[in-house]
Structure 1
Amino acid sequence: MTKLSVLVSLAAVSLLSACGENQTTAEVVAEAPVINQDLAVYKAGAKELVSMIKTAKPDADIAQKSAELVASSKEIISQFIVKHPKCNEYLTALNNAADIIPTLPLEEIEAGYHEDGKLPKFDDPNCYHAKDLLVHPATVQAMASMGINSSEMRESAELEIIEVIAHFSQVEKALN
C-alpha cells in the first residue's frame, strides 16, 4: 500500500467516525434530496459494507453488497459522463468491463483497473475519482468470491472501501 493510500484511508476513517456510521441506508436515502439519491445510496452502502467487513459477515453477503455498490456506481458514472464528457471514453470502457472485473485475479484488477492498464488515457483527475467508485467495490467482490479468510485480507478489503469513501467526496463535488 502506498503512503498516499494510507493517508487517504486514515482520512476516510475520520470521515466515517464523523458521519455517524450507525445510520441505515434507508434512513440516509430518506433524508437526501431526490437529485442526490444515487449518491446517498452509494455512500450509505459503502459505509454498510465497511461495517460488514469489520464484523466478519459471510463472504456471500459481502460479495452481494459489493455487487450492489458496483451496480450503483454504474448509475453514478453514467450521470458523471453527462456532466464531464471528457471522461466519456475512459468511464465507458470501465462500465463495459464492470461485470468482468470481479471475476479477474486480484493482480489483474490492480494492474488493469486500479493502475489503468486496460483503460484509455484521460486528462481530467475527476475521471479517476469516478472510476474508483466502481473498481474498489469490484475488488472487494473478487476478494469475497475467493474467500476473505485471513485478518490481512479482511483489512485489505476494508481499506478498499474506506479509500473509495474518500474518492466519493471528490465525485460528489464534481457532480454538484
Structure 2
Amino acid sequence: MLKPLVVASSLIIVSGCDNNLTAQQAEHVVKSSQLSAFEQYPYQANTLLNNIRARKDPASLEEESAELVTLSQALIKELVVKYPQCTAYLDALSEVATVIASLPLAEIESGYHSDGKLPKFDDPVCYHAKDLLVHSVTVQASTRLGLADQHAYQNAELDIIEVIAHFEQVARALNN
C-alpha cells in the first residue's frame, strides 16, 4: 500500500516541478531576445548539454547546436575587435562557418579542430574563440548524422563540455 502512495506522490511532485520549469523557460525565452551573444552563449551551451544528456532527438539538438554556432560567430566578431592579432585566424574560420557542419567529421577534425585549414595564430585566446565555433559545429554535424548510439551522444556531450571551458577563457579575455 505504501509503494503506490510513494509513486503517486512522486508523480505529483515531478509534474508540479515540470510546470514550473516550463514557465521559467518561457520567461527566459522572452528575456533572451534582450541579451547579448556573450550573455546568451553560456545559457545556450548548458541547455544543449542538458538536452544531450537527456538524449533528446537529434533534430532538436541540431537546431540548438546551430544556434550555438550563430552565437559563436557573434562572439568571434567581438573578440577580433579587442584582439586584432586574431583577425586572420578567426576570419578564415568565419568565412567557412556556414559550411563546416556539412563536412565529414574527419575533415572538421583535421581542418578545423587541428587547424589544418587555418592560418597560424600567436595568442591562445584566438584558439579558445575558434573552439567555441568548431566544437559547436561538430555537434551540429554529429546530430545531422543522427547520433545513432550511446557513443555518439557521449562525444557530443564532451564537445559541449569543452565549449563551456573555452567560453570561460574567452569571457576572461573579453572582460580584461
TM range (shorter): 0.7 to 0.9
Which stretches of structure 1, 4 residues or longer, exceed 6 Å deviation after superposition? Answer: none
TM-score between both structures, scaled by the size of structure 2: 0.81
Match of 1:120, SS state, is: coil
| Alignment match, 1:81 | 80
Gaps of 5+ in 2: 1-23
Identity of aligned residues (%): 50
| Alignment match, 1:104 | 103
Gaps of 5+ in 1: 1-22
| Alignment match, 1:70 | 69
| Alpha-carbon offset, residue 38 of structure 1 | 1.5
Counterpart-to-counterpart distance in 1, 2:88 and 2:26: 31
| Alignment match, 2:56 | 57
| Alpha-carbon offset, residue 25 of structure 1 | 9.2
Gap change, CA 1:24 and 1:136, over 3 Å in 2? farther
TM-score between both structures, scaled by the size of structure 1: 0.81
| Alpha-carbon offset, residue 81 of structure 1 | 0.3
Higher Rg of the two aligned structures: 2
| Alignment match, 1:149 | 148
Gap change, CA 1:101 and 1:28, over 3 Å in 2? same
> Structure 1 counterpart of 2:106, which letter?
E
Aligned residues: 152
| Alignment match, 2:161 | 162
Q: Deviations over 1:2-48 (max 9, x none)?
A: xxxxxxxxxxxxxxxxxxxxx859649959xx8x7321201100000
| Alignment match, 1:9 | none
Is the counterpart of residue 131 in structure 1 residue 120 in structure 2? no
| Alpha-carbon offset, residue 90 of structure 1 | 0.3
Counterpart-to-counterpart distance in 2, 1:101 and 1:141: 9
